Amino acid sequence: MLNVLWLQSGGCGGCSMSLLCADTADFPGLLQAGGVRLLWHPSLSLESGHEIVDLLGACLAGRQRLDVLCVEGALLRGPNGTGRFHLLAGTGQPMTHWVARLAAVARHVVAVGACAAWGGVSAAGANATEACGLQYEDDRAGGLLGAAFRAAGGLPVVNVAGCPTHPGWVVDTLLALAAGVLRAEDLDTLARPRFYADQLVHHGCTRNEYYEFKASAEKPSDLGCMMEHMGCKGTQAHADCNTRLWNGQGSCTRGGYACISCTEPGFQDTGHPFHRTPKLAGIPIGLPTDMPKAWFVALASLSKSATPRRVKANATADHLVVAPATKKTRLG
């Protein structure tokens, strides 16, 4: 069995809440069947107080094998690098102290959520708490453990980033570690599991026809593409949200909300409202991944000139105004 210890640091606990929405009727049974044993989780376990301190001590002393240390929430290094903004209750020691020592004896370390990966919302703005990720500070390698850190199993911190994480990303990561099939080449350049990070939120988006014709939404209830005016970054965000649906049926864009690119470092400090697209000379600044600006301008111009009346009419409506035409065929 893969022994997993889950700690929560500076954050909202939203990734744990998301985890409980895993696509199964028996979450503990799913983990057990996959060879995962949860040593402790602050919301799912009964032990508390000295029982937890004893468990942590046993892990550090080697009396309890620690295969995976999962950390949810940013690491709070303040004030002035002391870490005393966040003490582990009953120990008088900073959470940063405990995490660093446990990471040194764990076979694998997993950052659950954007806060644990890069600092996330906890590090937004002036970052008065000196929040950072386990091995990154936004997109800069370092964080609490340092750029050179490698766990005993040979991997860097595995960054299961998202705000919150999709439960499937967390479960699949743990199951892959339990099966011994998660290798260095299975992580992208930011150490995110490639099974979800090699995809874009744009893939599978139900608004893709509007995107192709650059038929854009102008207000929140519109059906059109939200990239041009509404701040959507689905063409830049690495995640499979529109092919691995949340709760089996939803995603941000399917619910009418622009993708804010929550799997990416620094998403929390955009410098502009999430629901607006910043532009330069009328051209969105955040262009699709790997697309040169000149190509986008040319494509957008051609696409808009070829937009069908149906697509143009539906893009700025909250329901289908014009249905697709029916044509006679020789089939059936």
Neighbours of 295 (CB within 10 A): 12
Fold of 2-195: Rossmann fold (3.40.50)
Strands 75-76, 131-132: pairing kind: antiparallel
Span 290-302, mean pLDDT?
A: 74
Cα separation of 76 and 9, whole Å? 8
Q: Determine which helix (DSSP H) or strand (DSSP E) holds 72, and give its type and residue range.
A: strand 68-72
pLDDT at res. 328? 75
Confidence of residue 288 (pLDDT cuts 50, 70, 90): confident
Q: pLDDT (tens digit, 9 = 90+) per residue, 73-98? A: 999 999 999 999 999 998 999 999 99
Q: Where in 73-190 does DSSP place strands (E)?
A: 75-76, 87-88, 93-94, 108-112, 131-132, 136-137, 140-141, 158-160
pLDDT band at 331 (very low <50, low <70, confident <90, very high): low
Give the other-Cβ count within 10 Å of 75's Cβ: 30
CATH number for region 199-318: 4.10.480.10
Domain ranges of the chain: 2-195, 199-318
Query: Can you tell me the mean pLDDT for 295-319?
Result: 86
